[in-house]
Amino acid sequence: MKWIRDKWAPNGAAINVNVVKQLESYHSKFQKIDVYETANLGKMLLLDDIIMLTEYDEFAYHEMIAHPSLHVHPKVNKVLVIGGGDGGTVREILKHSDIREVHVCEIDEEVISVCKKHFPTLSSGFDNPKVKIFFEDGAVFVKERKNEYDLIIVDSSDPIGPAQVLFQEQFYRNMFDSLKYDGITVTQSEGMFFGREIIRKLFTFNRNIFPILYYYFTMVPTYPSGTIGFSFCSKKHHPVNDIYTKKGITTRYYTPDIHKASFILPKFMEDIV
């Protein structure tokens, strides 16, 4: 029996996963990439020894980074996904028939390649004609595009290595400029228990950028704290008051009630955000 320990362990917490065999292990230009077959959680992807996803519970993350904003903005035609190389976020976005174009800006081409090979149920959306992939630095990419997107989703890894810049104030200011007049940005913003200082920093500067700013969360048991959260940064639309009911979209985690409940925070988080 072999156990893999997630290296991202703020406050000393971590998770161990029982694995059967290693399917991939190599270094790309940007990071170390590993894929394992686990004993009970299906295949698992790690970047720089940090768990990105398992097939067992990835839907709880990908549905909740995508669907809340897509059920709030009344007319999302053009979306930018920064990061998201596993394809799960794109898969969820494409469930909405009004989407006309999805740009994916992933810095590491190897992440998409390995996920196409080992995670076809996540990465199948990359072949959709609505999707265009750019292998570029997301921070530079968004800086060069003004007033272009209805929605920007930052599906990033943790704030170490190549993702560090995606947690900086200037990046959020550039995203604000890249959104249309009523645009929304949703960003991976760490779990509320072990990521408090990161969240505090994000909300300190984002209060001066976006007129509507909220934190919400989902449950993902294979992340160290069991939760992961998102910043909902909006120019116009409120994340709870402006929900539009859409029919014909199949989900396993997201519901309108879960949507509303995910924005209800414990007292310690209310004090931070």
Cα–Cα distance for residue pair 156/172, rounded to 1 Å: 14
What is the identity of the amino acid at 193?
A: F
Q: Which 3-state string (H, E, C) describes 44-81? A: EEEECCEEEEECCCHHHHHHHHHHHHHCCCCCCCEEEE
Q: Which of 48, 155, 182, 242 is catalytic?
A: 155
Residue 138: count other Cβ atoms within 10 Å of its Cβ.
Answer: 28
Given strand 32-38, what is the order of strands in its sheet?
2-5, 16-27, 32-38, 43-47, 50-54
Specify whether the CB–CB gap between 173 and 143 falls below 8 A: no
Q: To which H or E segment does residue 269 belong?
A: helix 267-272
Q: Among residues 196, 176, 191, which one has the least CA distance to residue 236?
A: 176
Cα–Cα distance for residue pair 204/230, rounded to 1 Å: 15
> Is 155 a catalytic site residue?
yes
> What are the residue ranges of helices labelled H in the chain?
58-70, 88-93, 109-118, 120-123, 138-143, 169-178, 196-206, 256-261, 267-272
Beta bridge partner(s), residue 36? 22, 44
Q: To which H or E segment does residue 214 belong?
A: strand 212-219
Residue 212: count other Cβ atoms within 10 Å of its Cβ.
Answer: 15
Residues marked as catalytic = 155
